Structure 1
Amino acid sequence: MGDKVLLVDDEEGIRKVLGISLADAGYDVMTAGSGEEALNIFRNESPSIVLTDIKMPGMDGIVLLRKIKEEKPDTEVIMITGHGDLELAIKSLQFEAADFVTKPIHDEALAIALKRVHERIWMKAKLREYTEGLEQLVLEKTQKLIEAERLAAIGQTVATLAHAIKNIIGGLKGGMYVLEKGMELHNTQYQGQGWEMLKSNVEKIKNLALDLLNYAKDREPDYRLCDPCEPLQEVFHLVQPRCRESGVSLEMECSAGLQPILLDPDGIHCCLLNLASNALDACRDFEPAGTPPGIVLRCLHVHGWGVEYQVADNGCGMDEETRSRIFRTFFSTKGTKGTGLGLMITQKIVREHGGVIEMETKQGKGSTFFIRLPDRRRLDASRTA
């Protein structure tokens, strides 16, 4: 049995004559005397080709064509026109008719139109095949690329951690040496220095392990309703002694009237501490022209967001190249002294909150980091409304 063809014409004689020609050509022919009848047959039988008259009572051929294309766009439709219906035939082509033939219909003209239809069907099938093949190829290449990037990231992680651990081990060995010398010489000053070196490097190991855990684990923020200034105040009191030791001023500004919002205070504390520590490093050993080195921590209300945190410094700042790489995996502005994990973790936590982190910087003029977090209560209310 050949392809199914639905022949639609309100004249019974045309249906009989064309039906015989199509059957002789090997097609499985179905006929309909109106657009409405044709649509019912089409929905039940799903013919691949429809041959329909344009001018018919009730639902005409143009309307039938549009309905067929809406329901099954791949169906090929040949329009039958009279000699004076050229304008309608052109209109049918605009609605994606495959071809049109004019009455009286000769076998040769019908055969040419059907040949064109079969060519369209073949080309569509090939295009679909090529598209599916291309999509599969893109998927395979993407998976390979993801795997390659994952392996590269693992390699970079191992190399970065190995370097950081090597530096910490060097510090531990140095502390042990100074401590042992102090004990050997009964020198309390050496003992104190050695002990402080050991404590400092143990703290580095602890921070490195915590950074890795924070970056590796995939978790939802532990949202709590709290004063958005609280994490900033905690970081302020934590960083203040280190700033005082380094001769760097530290200020804090919290907007009046800030409403409690839903956030993960521990996660935001971690973000702000990372940014404040980076700001302190940027201010150390850098003397801004005309003003002493300083850091300002801010908690503000901005339109469209629940809260905005700012960590601003007037330290060394960054050039454009460094700025473009600042959030890349394991990139650090501190050379061998940093792992780059701090900003990666900060960005991850902010994204988990549905927020954004941005930066403004100028070399020799300092940097300002902005963390904007949504008001989750409003978001949840809008979703349930």
Structure 2
Amino acid sequence: MSKNKLLLVDDEEGIRRFLGLTLMDLGYEVETAENGETALKLIEKTAPAVILTDIKMPRMDGIELLKAVKSDYPHIEVIMLTGHGDLDLAIESLKSDAADFITKPIDDEVLEISLSRVMEKIQLKDQVREYTENLERLVEEKTQRIIALERQNAACQVVEGLSEALSSAAHEVETGSGLFNELPCLVSIHNRYLEIVAANELLKDRLGEVVGMNSFDIYSDRESAGNACPVQLTFKTGKGQRSKETFIGKEGEEIPVTVYTAPIPNKDGDIELVLDISVDMTELKRLNDELLETQYKFQRLFDEAPCYISVQNPDYTIAEVNRRFKEDFAEPLGATCYSSYKHRDNPCDECPVQRTFKDGETHQTETVVTTRNGEQKNMLVWSAPIRNAYGEIKQVMEMSTDITEIRRLQDHLTSLGFMLGSMSHGVKGMLTALDGGIYRLESGLRKNDQERVTEAAAVLKNVVGRVKKMVLDILYYAKSREIEVESVPAGHFLQDTAALIVPKAVAADVEYEIDIPEEMGDIEIDPSSMSAAIVNFLENGVDACEPKLPGKDYRISINGRDLGDKIELTISDNGAGMDRETKEKIFTLFFSSKGKRGTGIGLFISNQTIEQHGGSITVESEPKQGTTFTIHLPRKAERKKQPPACPCA
């Protein structure tokens, strides 16, 4: 902003021209505007020091222009130009902070005097602003200086306090009393001539009488003052040192230490003594070795424990597992527990880990898991909280013990009782049927009615067959049962077995396809038990097609193939199918996906029968897509013996 730049505002062009010439003669740079709105636009561009404006103008008068200028540009001075009849407006303008007013017609001398007063006012304001800025800068400088002095004073107090503390420490070492003789550290005091002037009892006990020796003499790799030791470096640099060194013990043994040195100044600030505090790393190394050994021992116990151990986070992710867990399950770290070995998409109901996180107590449950090899195991699961130093539960440890064999024995005993209880009603019914058959037989013989005799014989034959099957089932569960193999034509046997299910499939409106070659060679099997096993798979296929969905045609197919030393039998349906968890449990005793319609015994028996023959079963299934059982049987039965059902068997 130029102090000589003026803005003249008047709606009369003649006044702007002639008054502008007068102002230029007085030495001012002049810009003109015909109204207040134009003037406001020119202010930002020209930056005038003074505005001379007429009071009465169209569109925006002088009073409005004055208020607008003082609102946005308070540093610009405004002189009002007014007629004799506008004195009231002129006085009002002074109330709005106008610098002066001049009446028309304008006298050149009055104009010059008014401008001179305004310029003096502007100059005075500039001086006051400059003085204020200088004063603020001076205050800031003095404030910073005071702060610096206060910091320096505080630092001096800290140094004095530290010096007193170190001097006190040196006195304690020299007199053999106080804290430094209680510390498990090697403490010594050295003077500026690199002589040991004091040592605590522990250092004397380990290194011998060292007072009077050179500072570097206690180090194994220092031979003279030319090979600077930490004490010498402290005197040289004035700063404490930290380094790993080796002391020479009184028996000549080497003692690894970590050395800490600190200068002790006198009252003049010069370093008078150096305090040397050294930590014997031998004990630390021993403790570290013990810690590593303990960690290794606990890790070994953790890994070799005869159970599965996992440590789980609050979100069910597995943080750590033992060796046995890693061997039997897919890589679990970072995965959730329920997906790793339960193959679920959501946490299990009544999850013991979740309950432990909630209440901090141990919990127990029993479940079935599947290993990476497809082996199913009954597990007894315990959960226990892992707390931090504040008692907060951060993780939960889950321990799972394999109780498959115990559960198998219990299942056999349970199933035996279950079957005996249910069979008692069957036996009663069969006895009634026997009585009825004998009565009809006797009646037919008395009356010489051959037709009645034949019917009675058929009833008795049927009942005897049922009794035989029941007795065999009881024997199967009560004790281990060897299969009685014989060589049979594989094709004819499989065709005859597949035909047994035709009536049930027809009744259920299920299409039934049999693709089994007649000539497949001979196979060694127990025909009775193997036929029952295969029929179980076929009946399950028919049951899987119920209930039916509208518009869907259901079918079951049984296919046989000659694989040389093996026979392959494939049983497929396009029924309900199974999810992974169900598929992995179908051969578990008493597990059934049929609800009340199933006992959970049939597939369990079928699986054991095929295993007894040295065969194997694979299952492929998808929900709503169907299931395929693939059975492989060796031509020569391997006669794998089943374990006893109970200790007394």
Q: TM-score, normalised by structure 2?
A: 0.31
| Greater per-residue helix proportion | 1
Q: TM-score, normalised by structure 1?
A: 0.48
Q: Highest relative contact order (Cα 8 Å, sep 6+), 1 or 2?
A: 1
